[in-house]
């Protein structure tokens, strides 16, 4: 083989490697919405710009969600979706009715705080576990405070607002999802989830000398979103000043023209991000910063509930990956959170146990419809929570 042939072979080989890396980047974006993002020259994707453009055009409103300075976003009063699945009442609660300040005579009021799994994404209202609790036990009145995309910080901050409106609640259910711990270090969603879901800013807490400090929403007005549309790196760096995921991104470099280099940076960052929070069995790491901040928020939420004379109950809600790891490794996904709650003598319900007692390894797919719980799962959740609350109610009286 001549030197020219060798050189051509090397060039073709390098081209193929680069092409495969480029194809892998396309796959990562299509499947997981992950793309190349540097901390010194951040840019938003076209999809995110499209999302923000629509948000600005509608002055911060969507079909059922609307911009909120303090929470990032909230449910839009009197909003509804065109598929007739979701209807929001005048106070921004997913409900077919309005609620008074105090519960009706003979009713035990329960507040349910959480994200889309509490809200009941893509499920008709009567099929949600919220409404099924009321069906099983008519003396219970459950008010759904769930909002899609919320992290533990927003869940807590919304509770503070709504608990002042809906008084005399006996129980407060606090949803806990393992992957939501990532959101506790995030202040602008595109830096964490790229262009998946709600591409908006949010408040976040940090731990300083073991005390929580609240950082305001960096996109505190619709006008701020107008500035983001310019996709200016300098302004995006200001927006992500307190965002862990921008601050720990890779820097741009002279070899970034290469798909191989880009893929290597993307892959190493995503692997590092995952194993900062989870071990190889899919269990939360007690030493991770994300979990430590989340537990501090959870503790403050629990204390606020107790101060109001109510009983907090944490609901561990597993995702598909959590159940897969449970059946594969018999992993205790929420172990460090359980230990924390046991030390505080706080109540919790682990839905991993509920699902594993009802669904075997082969039937675990029946737990979910897409990313959310199936109607059957919602029924099991309602039965488990209702039984638990009835026992606690009798104990407390």
Quickly list DSSP for 327-356: HHH---TTHHHHHHHHHHT-EEEEHHHHHH
Name the CA radius of gyration of the chain, rounded. 23
Closest Cα to residue 175, out of 26, 393, 368, 337?
Answer: 337
C-beta pairs of 11-18 under 8 Å, 24+ apart in sequence: 17/260, 18/258, 18/259, 18/260
Backbone φ and ψ for 200, nearest 5 degrees, come out as -135, 165
Which tokens hold the place of 234?
């300098």
Helical residues (DSSP H) of the chain, grouped into ranges? 3-32, 46-57, 116-119, 129-136, 152-162, 190-193, 222-228, 233-239, 244-247, 259-277, 289-307, 320-329, 335-344, 351-358, 375-396
Contact 202, 240 (CB under 8 A): no
The pLDDT, as a whole number, for residue 271 is 94
**pLDDT value at position 299?**
97
Q: How far is residue 304's CA from residue 300's CA, in Å, rounded to a whole number? A: 6
- For residue 227, what are its two tokens? 């500035």
pLDDT at 7: 86
Q: What is the mean pLDDT of residues 42-50?
A: 91
pLDDT for residue 193: 78
Q: What is the pLDDT of residues 275-287, one digit of tens each?
A: 999 999 999 999 9
As a whole number of angstroms, the distance between CA 160 and CA 305 comes to 9
In sequence order, the β-bridge partners of residue 67 are 73
Contacts by 318-321, CB closer than 8 A, 24 or more apart: 318/178, 318/351, 318/352, 318/355, 319/177, 319/178, 319/179, 319/371, 320/367, 320/368, 320/371, 321/282
Read off the pLDDT band of 209 (50, 70, 90): confident
**CA–CA distance, 312 with 304 (Å, rounded to integer):** 9
Tens-digit pLDDT profile for residues 105-151: 999 999 999 999 999 988 999 999 999 999 999 999 999 999 999 99
Tokens for 52? 């923000």
In b/e form, how buried is each residue of 356-368, taking b as 16+ CB within 10 angstroms?
A: beebeeeebeebb
Q: What is the pLDDT of residues 355-382, one digit of tens each?
A: 999 988 888 888 998 888 999 999 999 9
Q: pLDDT tens digits, residue range 335-357?
A: 999 999 999 999 999 999 999 99
Residues in the chain, total: 397
Is pLDDT larger for residue 237 or for residue 63?
A: 237
For 178-206, the pLDDT digits (tens) are 999 999 999 999 999 766 778 999 999 99
Please report the pLDDT score of residue 2 as a whole number: 79
């Amino acid at each position: 083989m001549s030197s020219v042939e060798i050189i051509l072979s090397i060039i073709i080989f390098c081209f193929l490697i680069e092409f495969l890396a480029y194809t892998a980047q396309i796959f990562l974006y299509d499947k997981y919405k992950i793309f190349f993002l540097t901390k010194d020259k951040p840019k938003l994707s076209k999809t995110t710009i499209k999302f923000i453009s629509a948000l600005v055009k509608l002055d911060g409103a969507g079909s059922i969600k609307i911009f909120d300075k303090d929470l990032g976003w909230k449910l839009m009063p009197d909003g509804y979706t065109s598929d007739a699945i979701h209807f929001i009442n005048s106070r921004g609660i997913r409900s077919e009715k309005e609620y008074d300040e105090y519960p009706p005579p003979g009713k035990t009021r329960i507040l349910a705080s959480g994200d889309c799994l509490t809200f009941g994404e893509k499920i008709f209202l009567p099929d949600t576990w919220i409404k099924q609790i009321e069906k099983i036990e008519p003396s219970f009145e459950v008010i759904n405070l769930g909002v899609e995309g919320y992290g533990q910080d927003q869940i807590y901050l919304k509770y503070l607002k709504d608990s002042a409106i809906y008084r005399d609640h006996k129980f407060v259910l606090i949803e806990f999802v393992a992957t939501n711990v990532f959101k506790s270090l995030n202040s602008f969603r595109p830096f964490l989830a790229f262009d998946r879901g709600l591409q908006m800013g949010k408040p976040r807490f940090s731990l300083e000398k073991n005390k929580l400090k609240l950082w305001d929403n960096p996109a505190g007005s619709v006008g701020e979103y107008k500035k983001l549309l310019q996709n200016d790196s300098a302004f995006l760096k200001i927006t992500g000043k307190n965002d862990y995921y921008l601050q720990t991104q890779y820097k741009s470099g002279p070899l970034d023209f290469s798909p191989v280099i880009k893929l290597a940076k993307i892959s190493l960052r995503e692997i590092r991000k995952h194993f900062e929070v989870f071990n190889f069995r899919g269990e939360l790491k007690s030493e991770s910063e994300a979990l430590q901040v989340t537990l501090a928020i959870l503790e403050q939420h629990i204390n606020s509930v107790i101060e109001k004379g109510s009983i907090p109950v944490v609901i561990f809600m597993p995702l598909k990956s959590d159940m897969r790891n449970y059946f594969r490794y018999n992993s205790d996904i929420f172990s460090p959170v359980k230990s924390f709650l046991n030390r505080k003598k706080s109540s919790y319900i682990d839905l991993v146990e509920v699902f594993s007692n009802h669904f075997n390894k082969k039937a675990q797919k029946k737990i979910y419809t897409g990313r959310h719980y199936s109607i059957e799962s919602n029924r099991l959740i309602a039965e488990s929570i209702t039984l638990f609350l009835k026992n606690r109610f009798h104990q407390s009286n």
